[in-house]
Structure 1
Amino acid sequence: MTVDLRQPTAQTTETPDRFSSVSVLEGSPHGILIASADRGGTAVYANQRLAQLFRTPVPMDPGGIAAAAQLLFDRNGESMAFDDSPMGIALHRRRATRAEVQYRVPGQPPLWLDISASPLECTYGGQPLAVSYIHDVSHQRHSATELDEANQRLAEQLEDLTWVHGLTERLAGRGTLESALARVLEEGALLLHADMGVARLFDEEHGTMATQAVFGLPPDPLDEVHIALEKLTEDRCLMDEVAEAGGALIIEDVATDPSCTEAFRDLARTAGFRSAYAVTLSASDGRRLGVVGWAFKQPGRPTMRQRQLTNTYCRFAGQIVENTQLYERERRIASTLQQSMLAQTLPHIEGVQIAACNLPGAHGMQAGGDWYDVVALRDGKVALALGDVMGKGLGAATAMGQLRTALRAYALVEGEDPVAVLTDLNALTQNMALTDMTTVLYMTVDPAEHRAKVVSAGHPPPLLIDQSGASFVRAGQGVPLGVVDEWHAEEKEVPLPPGALLVLYTDGLVERRGEDLGTGLERLRKAALNAPSEVGELCAYLVEECLDEGANPDDVAILAVRVR
């Protein structure tokens, strides 16, 4: 059987009852191709829509379809042989198939085609036939690609925000200014693939830049790299250059960049880098705090995404550095105030040996309110006081100084009545709103009578060590000061045989994270059994025995007295 595919003539008259089949094919919105297996693949018929799709006439010469297949590629972008195309499969393997292919003409965007091909039950010139329906899906493909790219960008932005959020959380947990800046340099180097980095802060008082942290550089400040780095302060301030560059400065090649000074080129030669990227650290009010910079051994520049992420990270880092500076300044003031308000010398009291120490906490950014005092009373007696103001920082240190001063005044007036002293101190605390809560332990010692009177306002019990062993004096307990309007407790009289040792302490000596207070108290009691006989050595001994590897997360105050 043969098929007649002649084009309709101008004289053809089409009516609803009679019309040409070819005109139906020409009116199709899809490309239609009928081909035979002659010479591997020869076009027998192609409608005008197909030529419009390919933007070129369909080759009608023998074997032309197979030859044109060199421009076909599969959806993965790999070259597709004609026999593996939908038309080739329909012609030669005689089965229907469908596939999405790309038609790629050099210099033009790829044409995405959805092709369905089926073998025909007829021949042409003795050769089997197949028909293909070709639909242009480029628009859908490009839209899907744009959507995928948009989703990818959103996913990257979400990933970037998550990454920056995680970095800032870890950064906020750094204890000191140096450790925070070291974290900024380390994380930034991972992001930028940098080889080294430096963080320098501006000293407003002296108008100079000082190195605070380094990455990938020798730690020794006397190394020639650090010497070359410090020479930058003698030249134009790098922070000004970064600010004038919009907050971020890129130097693609130190050797050829005309903006590089000789001091900077000398630093590059000494440290061994060729390119650099620097970002300003700014406070929340826009005030410039300093510069963080990274350097690379090869010329080049970070990508746009790397720069955007680094700049975002450094904006958060600037705020954290600002807060850390404020905390450290307050800590220095509070620590100075706290130390100045403690007893600088202990009075000499006949018949007793007294020792005291105060250790600031190793963690946190603020000083606490631990304090002690020793007051000489009439008739050779002595008053011992030790307290802990709730809170940290300048407020706690100020409250501590006021409480210590007031207690000393009350002790000089009514010091032999411990309950009266703490009752008056509670009234003052309430009246002046010094603090929400403070614990205080107050006792008087009479070395001639070998006895002591003890009263406590919510403070850990004093430890008594004598020939019978070590035990806590748990009587005389009242609530902390500042909690109730009317404070009261019953004092406890404790006998002090010759050689007896009393140890007063704050909770920092016995508390450890993750364990109950009873465990810490028992650790102190056992340690005291082997305490050195010399009171002056007692504080260092107890700190070593009771604190975890010598570290004290909280402030510690110790006051010890031995009766001769």
Structure 2
Amino acid sequence: MVPVSTHTAAPTEGIPSAPGAFIQDRLAGWVSDLTTLHELTERLAGTSTLDSALHELLVAGAALVGAARGLLVLEPADGRGPSRTIGLGLSHAELGHIETVPRSATAYGRFLDGLPDTGAPVASPDILGDPGLDPRCREVAARLGYAASYAQPLATGAAGPAGTAGTTGPEGTARATGRLGAAVWLYDEPAEPLERQCHLVGVYARYAAEHLARLLELERARADVAAVAEELLPSRLPRIPGVRLAARRRAGPGTGGDWYDALPLPDDALGLAIGSVGGSGPAALAAMGRLRAGLRAYAVMEGEDPVAVLSDLELLLRMTEPSAAATALYAYCEPDRRTIVLAGAGHTPPLVTGERRTEFVETTLSAPLGMLSCWEAPSVEFTPRPGETVLFYTDGLLRRTGDTRDRAFARLHAAAAGVPKVLRQDPGAVADHVLRTVLPADGTGRSGATEDVAVLAARFD
């Protein structure tokens, strides 16, 4: 217990009282600002794609400076792209109007062009009343209904003199530095953010630029891998009398090893193949390229025997990729007789669809390539009817639905059965309808699955 004195001390003369209320207000303001920055940076750090990060940055900046609208221009100074312009509270047409203003007349345009003395934020508190601005700036502002703006450059801190240098992180990977873009927030009335707001959005923008630089390099790497994957697939499908072909591929973020192939064989025969290599990234792409090249060679030598083709492919996989596993399906087709002989190695069964039937082809149960010391499974033969389309697809189509295996197969069956009659003449239209129906609108399943999807459609006359 602390005893309380009953005597009151006399006030000390000449010593001012401590400004307690002022200090408490300042401390409370700092704590509030730090809390706000922490929440906004946490939300930004949770974004995993470049588009989502750009949108989050634009929304958070608008909240910090007290604006309702704005736009963000991503234009890396190294010229490698990607370049994008997104808006907040602005339609595409309104963004187009803003882009009609000469770049040299806008603060963000001067920064993106790397002009001197353009590395700091720029406030335009009264656009309509500023005679020093370009007349087109005032004209567009009056048309779109904004009266002030605040432009914040987006740049990483390790730029060279020209703003285009690059740094190498501890992992040894080059990361883009320098000018990345600029954000502009618009006010409906003449206004200017407070000094405190400018400081907060500046701190947030520096953190956001580093995050954007990481996502930018990741997107570039994904684009490079996707370009390599496209080069490994057929540039065009063969034209064989009696059959029409179409192929579709939906690459996931990791760009896995899903592939397809179609090659003409002697006597107007046709070899169709589809498969998937486990994993993702460059290793999966390399394995995919080797398997596809090997299958083409084996199909030319012994294409009439799908079992022999897949047996040779199994040996190739064990010799070149001893730790990898893959699924594959190869079909030998004679379009003039409308016969298909196929064998599969752990792959999903084809689906034949037409006006009178939609059913899965019964294939023999077999293990994926690389799972057994010696692979072999009997082949099956079936005859599609005139006007029917046979769909070969990879397992990613089922996994992206987010459903259980049985429900995913049922969903695929219903999508194929529901193809409108007017579309059944075109195998590409059939494949597009199935993909639109089976896959959710965002391309991912309810479980967040983002595997590659490959579909090969063959319509027999």
Query: What's the TM-score, normalizing by structure 1?
Result: 0.62
Distance in 1 of aligned mates of 2:356 and 2:89: 60
Q: Map Cα deviations across residues 344-399 of structure 1 (whole Å, 9 max, x no partner).
A: 3333445x4132221325xx645443321112233443221012234455554454
Q: How does 1:282-431 map to 2 (within 5 A)?
A: 282=156, 285=167, 286-296=177-187, 297-304=189-196, 306-350=197-241, 352-361=242-251, 365=253, 367-392=255-280, 396-431=284-319
Q: CA deviation at 1:467?
A: 9.6
Looking at structure 2, the residues matched to 226 and 242 of structure 1 have their Cα atoms a distance apart, in angstroms, of 18
Q: Which amino acid aligns with 1:444?
A: Y
Structure 1 CA distance, aligned partners of 2:80 and 2:443? 37
Structure-2 change in CA distance of 1:389 and 1:302 (3 Å) = farther
Shift in alpha-carbon separation, 1:316–1:478, aligned structure 2, 3 A: farther
Q: What SS class does the counterpart of residue 403 from structure 2 fall into?
A: coil
8 A Cα contact 1:418 1:455, kept in partner: yes
Measured against aligned partners, the alpha-carbon deviations of 1:416-441 in whole angstroms (never above 9, x if no partner) come to 23233223333433443498443221
Return the offset for 1:485: 6.5
For 1:279, the equivalent position in structure 2 comes to 153
Residue pair 2:328, 2:344 contacting (<8 A) in 1 also: yes
Q: Structure 2 CA distance, aligned partners of 1:207 and 1:194?
A: 31
Instruction: Give the share of equivalent positions with the same residue, in percent.
Output: 26
Distance 1:550 1:154 in 2: 40
Shift of 1:157: 5.7
Q: Is the 8 A contact 1:274 1:295 kept in 2?
A: yes
> Does the residue aligned with 1:459 lie in a helix, a strand or coil?
coil
Query: Partner residue of 2:164?
Result: none
What SS does the aligned partner of 1:291 have?
strand
CA offsets per residue over residues 8-49 of structure 1, 9 Å max, x none? xxxxxxxxxxxxxxxxxxxx9954xxxxxxxxxxxxxxxxx6
CA distance in 1, matches of 2:81, 2:362: 57
Residue identity opposite 2:219 in structure 1:
E
Cα distance per residue 1:72-124 (max 9 Å; x no partner): xxxxxxxxxxxxxxxxxxxxxxxxxxxxxxxxxxxx845xxxxxxxxxxxxxx
Rounded to whole Å, the distance in 2 between the matches of 1:480 and 1:219 is 49
Q: Which has the higher contact order (CA 8 A, sep 6+)?
A: 2
Q: 1:151 to 1:490 in 2, by over 3 A?
A: same
Aligned residue for 1:237, secondary structure, equals helix
Does residue 186 of structure 1 match 2:59? Answer: yes
The aligned residue for residue 380 of structure 2 is 493
- Rate the CA distance shift 1:290–1:348 in 2: closer, same or farther, 3 A: closer
Give the 3 Å change call, closer, same or farther, for CA 151–511 of structure 1 in structure 2.
same
- How far the C-alpha of 1:404 sits from its partner, in A, is 1.9
Kindly state the Cα deviation for residue 189 of structure 1 after the two structures are TM-superposed. Answer: 0.5
Q: Does 1:561 align with 2:451?
A: no
Q: 1:513 to 1:469 in 2, by over 3 A?
A: closer
DSSP 3-state at the match of 2:193? coil
Shift of 1:188: 0.8
Structure 2: distance between partners of 1:236 and 1:261: 16
Q: 1:435 to 1:243 in 2, by over 3 A?
A: farther
Match of 1:267 in 2: 137
Q: Which runs of 5+ in 2 are unaligned?
A: 159-166, 168-176, 445-449
Aligned to 1:98: none
Tell me by how many angstroms 1:501 deviates: 4.6
Q: Counterparts of 1:64-83 in structure 2 under 5 Å? A: none
Gap change, CA 1:433 and 1:255, over 3 Å in 2: same
Match of residue 101, structure 2, among 228, 231, 244: 228
The answer to whether the 8 Å contact 2:111/2:153 transfers is no
**What is the alpha-carbon distance in structure 1 between the residues aligned to residue 201 and residue 267 of structure 2?**
70
Aligned length: 425
Contact 2:258 2:276 in 1 (8 A): yes
- 1:488 CA displacement: 0.5
SS of the residue 2:308 aligns to: helix
2:332 counterpart residue number:
444
Higher Rg: 1
Q: Structure 2 counterpart of 1:385, which letter?
A: A
TM-score by length of 2: 0.74
